Amino acid sequence: MPPRPLTQLTLALLKPDLAANSVKVNKVFAHIQQNDFQILKHKQLLWSKSDAEAFYGEHRGKFFFERLCGYMTSGHFHALILEKPNAITDWRALIGPTHPPRARINAPGTLRSLYGMTDTRNSFHGSDAVETARNEIKFFFPEFDIEKWEQDQAKNSQHDHRSIKL
């Protein structure tokens, strides 16, 4: 039996412009399932300004910071922990380029090309690296024990690599 591939976690956000339309949210959940992601955790949130400023703090002082924080506090949104092999790369490929009008030209069929509006109101977020995913997951899901999840992954991988000879 071939070893089971190690899975990876990523944080996914379905931002307020998308979350305001339950039909679109349901379609996105269907895309997530069709692309073999497992949803480990899901919550709906409504941020205060201080929540948005804490999450996007690395962008403080940039021209888009206030606009981004205002957008992310404009309504409810969804935070998800997604799992699958290559979750980070696969989720970012599924959501597509940051700028939805460019996505419609260069990456039609991606979620941002289908549902995004502008570079700020682009409907989605995805972690860009393993360490970023860890930090973002801890920010949104402090109750989720990522270290235990990683230990379980390592145990399952070791178990799957053993071969049984009869």
- Which of the residues are catalytic? 125
Cα-based angle 20, 82, 8 (whole degrees, multiple of 5) = 155
Q: Binding residue per annotation — 86?
A: no
Q: Binding residue per annotation — 21?
A: no
Q: Binding residue per annotation — 122?
A: yes
Q: Binding residue per annotation — 120?
A: no
Q: Binding residue per annotation — 15?
A: yes
Phi, psi (rounded to 5 degrees) for 5:
-65, 140
Q: Binding residue per annotation — 138?
A: no
Question: SS in 3 state form for 23-89?
Answer: HHHHHHHHHHHHCCCEEEEEEEECCCHHHHHHHCHHHCCCCCHHHHHHHHCCCCEEEEEEEECCHHH
Which of 2, 4, 24 has the alpha carbon at shortest distance from 15? 24
Binding residues for ATP: 15, 64, 92, 98, 112, 122
Binding residues: 15, 64, 92, 98, 112, 122
